[in-house]
Amino acid sequence: MSGQSTLVPGELSPTRTVPGNIRRPEYVGRPAPTPYTGPERQSPETIEAMRTAGRIAARALAAAAEAIAPGVTTDELDRIAHAYMVDHGAYPSTLGYRGFPKSLCTSVNEVICHGIPDSTVLRGGDIINLDVTAYIGGVHGDNNATYLVGDVDEESRLLVERTRESLNRAIKAVRPGRQINVIGRVIESYAKRFGYGVVRDFTGHGINTSFHSGLIIPHYDSPDATTVIEPGMTFTIEPMLTLGTHTYDMWDDGWTVVTKDRKRTAQFEHTLVVTDSGAEILTLP
């Protein structure tokens, strides 16, 4: 493969500031969020607020993605997404979440998720996932996508393309009355066609006024994911597929998750609301 074969930590820039008039999530400045005890089915008012948060998150993601190119640092992508969100009155949900120091996650090559933006320079042949969540109106909107940096080898390109397709198929499988595990069943069966690993320990999640509500959305066919899908539920689907093993190591920063065999991985995510007939994507620009 071209590009960086093994990533190493870079240098962090100072914490970016958010204007005081922008509402913060309750967990900012605290070690952890207050556990969510509300319903998984949301009111029409909450769903409408999530459309706004989702739209801002999607547009911030797109703004940062436009700057992806060889020679650009992951910190610069963080700067762009941060500026877009605060300019539109939103707080970057990851900033200060359980101590996370930046306004989006940048996961390059073998990084499965939660990569921290820093001085790392993108190289031609890399792939990079950007994960952006916006908080506004008391709710969160969460999305991510994986992008190609310059000319990328065919194996990596197909991984990215097929991971996107696995998300699309999973969204189409969402129906009231089905169990949550139908989502992982669709993703896993598709990934197996190509011999891809499906990450198990990092999942989709319920989202609303809480960044992570406690509802778990596995991306494999979990026998435990028997919660019945109901209209008004809001959650993310965010499959993580790998070219090799689904097992992982974590860096000393406590966030950056890398494939144990250091082979590449891709991810895509949308926030959804369940409708009477399927699912509506809330994170469209």
Record the tokens describing residue 56, joined without a space: 């801002």
Which DSSP string corresponds to 167-182? HHHHHHH--TTSBTHH
Residues 6+ apart with CB under 8 A from 22: 86, 89, 90, 91
Consecutive H or E run containing 82: helix 74-87
Closest CA to 214 of 36, 42, 94: 36
pLDDT of residue 5: 64
SS3 content of the chain, % helix, strand, coil (to 5): 25, 25, 50
DSSP annotation of 165 reads H
pTM of the model: 0.97
pLDDT at 3: 43
Give 27: exposed, middle or buried? Use CB within 10 Å, 0-12, 13-18, 19+.
Answer: middle
Q: Please check whether residue 139 is in contact with residue 213, taking contact to mean a CB–CB distance below 8 angstroms.
A: no
The CA–CA distances, whole Å, from 228 to 10, 96, 147, 177, 281 equal: 43, 33, 33, 6, 19
Structure tokens at 264: 């590449």
Asked if 64 and 129 touch (Cβ cutoff 8 Å), the reply is: no
Q: Which amino acid is at 166?
A: S
Give, for all 285 residues of the chain, the pLDDT tens digit.
344 568 999 999 999 999 999 999 999 999 999 999 999 999 999 999 999 999 999 999 999 999 999 999 999 999 999 999 999 999 999 999 999 999 999 999 999 999 999 999 999 999 999 999 999 999 999 999 999 999 999 999 999 999 999 999 999 999 999 999 999 999 999 999 999 999 999 999 999 999 999 999 999 999 999 999 999 999 999 999 999 999 999 999 999 999 999 999 999 999 999 999 999 999 999
